[in-house]
Structure 1
Amino acid sequence: MKNLAKILAIAFIMVSGVQFANAQSLSQDADRPEVIAKKKVTELASKLELNDSQERALFRYYTSYEMKYKKNIAGKDLNEPKVAAEKKEYVDDLKANIKKTLNEEQYNKWLGFFKEDL
């Protein structure tokens, strides 16, 4: 009887551990640059009436921006001049690339949705 109780306790712990690990990996996936970029592009696609090539280009630009931001800006003091300059460089690069991809009307709409504090 003691052995059965031990086996059930171990099985319960194993199942709980697997569920915890799975939940943790899902929350980490939501923070990945590709996931964030896909979410932003999906929101913009209907608002700006993007075609497939524009969606792919915006996905690349946003993924690149998110990777640079997470690597060099996230968690740092934005009031520090070097960090602020890097962020401005990344935002300007994103704007320039998007301006090349969208037409004038789409770009002006995009500017209305764009938040400087990405």
Structure 2
Amino acid sequence: MKNLFKIVVVALVLVFGIQNTVAQSLSQDQERPEVIAKLKTSEINDAFDLTGEQQRYIFRALTANEVNLRKHVNGKDASNPEVAANKKKYDDALSQAMKKTLTPEQFAQWQKM
């Protein structure tokens, strides 16, 4: 009886230990703002051959833009004037950040993208 009890206890410890390990594993969700911003930054870098400083600044601007759009625009009624104003505000902020970061030639190409 003692051996059966020990086997059950060891099995339970293993099962709960495995569940805890799986729960702590990291996975990148493709819908996270950072992942989306990283992909967009990579696309812009491939097109324009950015410097490291430009990449960092663009990544931050794209992440902030994605977070703000999700919080204030996505999933809401697009015909609502407040939602439209928020979208325009965040798009303008992204455009200003890109204009500040990119060279005039790069910025003109980015607008065409």
TM-score by length of 1: 0.72
Deviation at residue 48 of structure 1 after TM alignment: 1.1
Deviation at residue 98 of structure 1 after TM alignment: 0.7
Deviation at residue 75 of structure 1 after TM alignment: 0.3
Q: How does 1:7-86 map to 2 (within 5 A)?
A: 26=27, 29-86=29-86
Find the residue that maps to 1:62 and give its secondary structure: helix
Deviation at residue 78 of structure 1 after TM alignment: 1.0
Q: 2 CA distance for matches of 1:26 and 1:82? A: 35
1:5-52: CA deviation from partner (whole Å, max 9, x where unpaired): xxxxxxxxx8xxx7xx88xx857x111100000000001101011111
Q: 1 CA distance for matches of 2:71 and 2:97? A: 20
Residue of structure 1 equivalent to 2:9:
none
Residue of structure 1 equivalent to 2:89:
89
Pairwise CA RMSD: 2.2
Q: 2 CA distance for matches of 1:80 and 1:26? A: 36
Q: Does 1:104 align with 2:104?
A: yes
Runs of 5+ consecutive residues of structure 1 not aligned to the other structure: 1-13, 114-118
Q: 2 CA distance for matches of 1:97 and 1:41? A: 13
Stretches (4+) displaced over 3 A: none
Instruction: Name which one, 1 or 2, has greater alpha-carbon Rg.
Output: 2
Alignment identity in percent? Answer: 40
Find the residue that maps to 1:54 and give its secondary structure: helix
> What number of residue pairs does the alignment pair up?
97
